[in-house]
Structures are given as structure tokens and as C-alpha cells.
Amino acid sequence: MQKYQFLNRDLSWLSFNKRVLQEASNTRLPLYERIKFLAIYSSNLDEFYRVRLGTYKRFTELPAEDKDILRENPDAILKNINAEVDRQQNEFGNIFTQEIIPALEEEDIILIRDQSLCEEHHQFVKDFFLDNLLPHVQPILLLKKQIQPFLQNNVIYIAVKLFKKRKKEEEEGAPKSRRSRYAIIKVPSHRFPRFIELPDRDGKHFIMFLDDIIKLRMKLLFPGYKIDSSYSFKLSRDADLLIEDEYSGDLIKMIENSLKKRETGSPSRFLYDASIPKDFLKFLKDSFNLQNNDMVKGARYHNFQDFFCFPNPKYPELEPESFHPLKVDDLQGNKSVFKTIRLKDQILHFPYQSYEYVIRFLNEAAVDPKVVEIKATQYRVADNSAVVNALINAALNGKKVTVFVEVKARFDEEANLRSANEMRKAGVKIIDSIPGLKVHAKLALVLRKGDKKDYAFLSTGNFNEKTAKIYSDHGLLTSNEVIITELKQLFDYLENQTEGYEFRKLLVGRFNLRRSLIELIDQEIQNVKNGHKGYIILKMNGLQERDMITKLYEASEKGVKIDLIIRGICCLKPNKTYAKNIRIIRIVDQFLEHGRIFYFHNLGEELLYLSSADWMNRNLHRRIECAFPIQDKKIKKELIDILNIQLNDNVSARILDGKLNNLPIPINGKVKKIQSQKEIFAYLNKKETASKLRKNRTAKDSV
């Protein structure tokens, strides 16, 4: 039996999504923020089924002797996943019906579900159906084993059971012996809002699901038939692009072909209304050739991610306070970004501080006559990206621009192909994916003529001005010559894929990242053996790689104190004797925690790295990642202060235990409540205010 135990990555992820669901129950939050967390939970779960479940299903089909080589039994894991999802779906339903709906009604917002409609609303629904929906809802009769309609991915369908009317038959029902017919209707939520606002009455606001409007009037779609019952369902399809790592042909063509197949992937989840009768469900299962492990019980309504767009007739009431990112005084006004970072490094904390400075950095590079070349990586960019526009502008201004576009970024493959073509047309040199590797590092390098200073931007998050408003990340603007030299080597590798590069300051995936991290942990172990303090803080999105977890277990056993801030997947199992010095917290709040920070006490000569890499198998073995050191003492202290604020969070943080529970941190009456995201904003605001005051005093003194 192995000495150390590990948590399953997918059950751990479900634990994270349950933490998201907890926020929907958080009465401390504005009502529409709680509704947003329901939508996030649903969207996350949809992606989980599309990306992860297909793998397990393929594993369950392996012969017994092949399953033996797997670390975990896929049948057991799949069973545990389905059981946990079932529990969470029940909790989701309770939160929605028993907490969110009553809270809406207290605000005079009525989501009509089972309530009878007044005459005015009946007429509105009838007119809306006839004037808008009727041309876009085409029923399809199901003839088992004759016609099998293709079910689109994540689209809501209404399954209808009906009987053919007989002549002179009264409207009440049909004999039980009569043969039933079945049909499906696709809900056209791609054309119409999922939620339709009805006329206000008596000071109350009324909203109705698009699906319910169709159900109320669908008898018009089936002349000559008596409708018996109807239930909603949807099918999720396996969306993981199986692109061979060793493939060396036309990768772009292969991805384009794979994208066409994504929406036609194998079923990964058939989500149905749990109240549907067994015979009705069996008919659907047989009609669409589904397997038992495809079937997942749900509630009456599906696609709760549509609640991102749930109407708020009382806006801006019931919403979070509007958030305005802080300005950075050193970079404000008409100051040249280049001149500022020539004097000292600048750290940016998104979304607390504005992303405009990154765009200004790239725009300045695009027009500076001394700039000869710009190199950058692209993983996920915004639609109508200001980053892409800046790079195109640079190329049009005669700069040599080289962009490495990662066309294998899941669910962004098509957008990345599109932006790559747009840049290519403007004269940007595009380097496509490297077979067998993903480039996940977030880097930009600006090279200037002769002995002029070069500049760089290194980040934990994507070059995406839209996600920078909701993702918590850190970016470094620098002119450090050693960092610049090593970035030149890294970009040279991306362009030529030749070996022989050596990195001393940067920790680069495929070169020295994993080895260096192990050495840093080993150094803390050695420090404890020598009678000194050993302390590590690791903040990341996912912790899975077993060798790294084993090294953390070893450090814990030797007496190194370890604090982990892990948002999502965490396969390290706490509450074991070999993990007694390890504490894990998970923070879920208004902004998505996305930054990666690695801190090592190092006998008081503290080392701190920002990184694009989580400690997942993919990041440490199959990706080009970049962790970069923070050498400026003030910036280092600022980041350590931010880490300590998060470690002291007792409002949005939860302790993760060995059973994957998200446990609230106990607060007695005397302890200050600390919500880290608010505290970080206040901390940065205070620092910025103090900086302005110092400069104003200096300016007055000089007069």
C-alpha cells in the first residue's frame, strides 16, 4: 500500500463547484449576485460534462486487464461523480425554489412557473407566441427505430406525449388503451431571450421562461392531437478535441476539422426532468440510443447559465455596487509607460487596478520610432481585442511583430484562429501551436534600436482586457536586463524549437520549472533540518501533479509549514499525519481568483515568483509556462501583504478538509471579519493615496 493518499481530481473539482453553489445561498450578497453564482455553477457543470466525462466513459469500456493499469477504478469514480452531482443538483433545486424565488417575490419580481395567468398575461403570451415564436418552433415526431433526430449540444428540448384525436371525441382526455405518440420541440433560445418580461401589474414585475410560453401554446403545433404531458431535457456532448500530441502535419487544418466535430461529439449527459414517467423516459432513451450512464436526473428547468441574463426590472438595485478599478499614479496621465518602467518595475493587480496600462504599453510600442520588434504570446484574447488591435497597428507602422498563437486553447480555438488570420493579413508573423505542447505563458517583449532599453510584460493571466475586469491576476512591467535576455531566449525557442537554452531567473516549463520548484521545496526542508524556519505559501488554481504533492507531504513531515490557497482542483489530502503542517483554503468571491504566486521563506531572504502555471500534470509536463521572480523589494512586500490578507480571510475563504468539505472559518465576536477581496482593494487604494500625498508634498517642497 502506498504511503501517501491523493484526492481524485474530478471529485475535487466538484467540491470547488459546490463552493460556488454555496455563494448562491449567501444572504450577505445582493440578490442578483446570488443568481449569478447559480449561473456560474450551471455553466461550470456543463463544461465539466463536456470535457471530463467522456474520458471516464471511454475508460469504463476498456477490458478489465487494461483498467488494472489505471491508478483509479473508472467505474467507481464515475459512480461517485454521478452520486455527488445528484446531491448537488438537489441542493441547487432547493436553493432556487426555496431561497431565490421567495427572495425575488419579496422584491415584487415574480418568476411565473406554476401560477395561473391573468387574462392580460394570457393574451400577451398568446400574441408573443403567434407573432414571434410560431415560425421558429418546428415539432419533430419521434418514430422509434425509424427516425433519430440529431440533438444539438446543450440545447433545451421539450419532449411531448400526445394522442391522435378521434372524430367527435370530447376534449377531455383519451382512452388509456390508445397508442401514444411522442414529439420533441427545440426551444429557440438562440433567437429569443430565455426570460420574457410580461406586463407589470399592481406594482409587480412578471417574468416567464421561454420554454413555459411554448408549453402553454404548443397545442397549436399539433392540430388533430391531444397533448398528454411534456417535459424538458437537454443533451451535452463530449467536446474535448482529441488531437494527437505527436501529430506533426497541418495542425491548423486538423483543429479546424476537429472543431466541426465538437458539436457532434458522443453524448456525455442526457439531463432530464426527474418527474418524467419511466415509460416516457425509456422511450426517449431508446429513441436517441443512449446508455444508462448518459442519464442524469435534473429539475424542471435546464441551462441555468441563462440566468446570467436574468432581467432585473429594478436595476441597479439588487446588484453589486459598481466597481471602478484604481488608477496607478506612476503610470497616470500622459506619462510614457516606457520611461516609468525604465526607472523601476511596475506591478499591476487586476481587476483592482486598470488593465488600460497594458494596452497603453502595447500602443506605445506600436508608435515608438525606436521600437523595432514586438514578440507576444496569445492564449485567450477578448472579442474585438484591444491587444490584437495594438499588435496590428504596430505591424502597419513597420514594426516586426511576431505572435505565438496557441490554437489549442480549449473553447477558444476558433477565436484564436480568427484573430491569427486577422493579424496575419496585417503583416504580423504568426507562429502556430507546437505539436505536443501548449504555450500557456503570458508574455510580451518590446525590442528597441541599438543600446536603447528593451521592455517586457509578464503576467499570470491572459492578454484579455475583458476577463481582466473579473479575474484576479498580477502583471509585471519591467526593463530588467537579465529577465529581458532570458525572454529573448524563450521566444527564440518558440520560433525555432531548438534545444540548448539555459534559464537562471525564469522558471520555464519543459526546461527548469518543475526541477526548480522541487529544489526550492528541498531548500526549505534543509533549512528546517538545520534548525531554522521553513515556510511555503502557494497560491494557484489547481494542484494535481503527484510528485509535487509528494514533495509537499515530505516537507510537511520534516516540519515545513505550508499554506495553500487553491481555488479549484486539489488532489493533496489534508488532515493526514504526513500533512499535519499543511493548511488549504479556497476563496470564492466576486472576482475569480486566477493568479499564481509561489513564496519561499528562504531563511528570511524571501523568494517570490509569479507564474502562469498551476501544478497540474498538463502545466508541468506538456506546456510552455513561465514563472518569473519578483526582485523589487517594495513589490515583493506588496505581494506578500496580499497573500497574508488572503490567508486571514474568514468571510469568503473556506478550509478544505480531507473529505472535500468546504468548511467555514469560525469567527468569535471579537475577531475582525476579513473579506480578502475588499481588503486588498482597500490596501491598494490606501497605498496609492499615500503615494500621491508623498508626491504632492515633494512638489510643494521643491517650489
Q: According to DSSP H, which parts of 263-308 are helical?
A: 278-287
Structural fold of domain 508-677 = Endonuclease; Chain A (3.30.870)
- Mean pLDDT across the stretch 549-573? 98
Domain range 329-501, its CATH number among 3.30.1330.40, 3.30.870.10, 2.60.120.330, 3.40.50.1820? 3.30.870.10
pLDDT, greater one: 269 or 603: 603
- Mean pLDDT across the stretch 191-205? 97
Euclidean distance between CA atoms 277 and 456, whole angstroms: 62
The pLDDT value recorded for residue 470 is 96
Euclidean distance between CA atoms 629 and 636, whole angstroms: 9
| Domain residue extents for the chain | 21-37+50-309, 329-501, 508-677
Q: Are 139 and 222 in contact (CB under 8 A)?
A: yes
Indicate if the pLDDT at residue 250 is higher than 70.
Answer: no
The pLDDT value recorded for residue 227 is 94
Packing angle, helices 251-262 and 413-425, rounded to 10: 140
**3-state DSSP call for residue 96?**
helix
pLDDT, greater one: 401 or 165: 401
The pLDDT value recorded for residue 176 is 52
The pLDDT value recorded for residue 166 is 76
CATH number 3.30.1840.10 given to 21-37+50-309: yes
Catalytic residue list:
440
* Omega before 351 within 30 of 0, i.e. cis: yes
Please check whether the two domains, 329-501 and 508-677, share a CATH topology: yes
Pick left, alpha or beta for residue 443 (phi over 0 → left; psi -120 to 50 → alpha; otherwise beta): beta
C-alpha to C-alpha distances, 389 to 362, 426, 448, 475, 630, nearest whole angstrom = 10, 10, 20, 20, 29
Euclidean distance between CA atoms 182 and 177, whole angstroms: 16
Q: Is 594 annotated as a binding residue?
A: yes
Euclidean distance between CA atoms 276 and 289, whole angstroms: 18
The pLDDT value recorded for residue 703 is 54
Pick left, alpha or beta for residue 93 (phi over 0 → left; psi -120 to 50 → alpha; otherwise beta): alpha
pLDDT band at 544 (very low <50, low <70, confident <90, very high): very high
Q: Is 44 annotated as a binding residue?
A: yes
pLDDT band at 445 (very low <50, low <70, confident <90, very high): very high
Write the pLDDT tens digit of every residue in 14-55.
999 999 999 999 999 999 999 999 999 999 999 898 888 877
The pLDDT value recorded for residue 53 is 81
**Mean residue pLDDT across the chain:** 90
C-alpha to C-alpha distances, 94 to 21, 45, 69, nearest whole angstrom = 11, 17, 41
pLDDT band at 264 (very low <50, low <70, confident <90, very high): low
Indicate if the pLDDT at residue 66 is higher than 90.
Answer: no
Beta strands in 479-553 (DSSP E): 507-508, 535-540
Q: Is 471 annotated as a binding residue?
A: yes
C-alpha to C-alpha distances, 399 to 342, 392, 453, nearest whole angstrom = 21, 10, 16
The pLDDT value recorded for residue 144 is 67
pLDDT, greater one: 391 or 261: 391
Q: Is 380 annotated as a binding residue?
A: yes
Write the pLDDT tens digit of every residue in 298-351.
989 999 999 999 999 999 999 999 999 999 999 988 789 999 999 999 999 999
Write the pLDDT tens digit of every residue in 488-516.
999 999 998 887 789 999 999 999 999 99
Query: What is the 3-class SS of 169-214, one letter each residue?
Result: CCCCCCCCCCCCEEEEEECCCCCCCCEEEEEEECCEEEEEEHHHHH
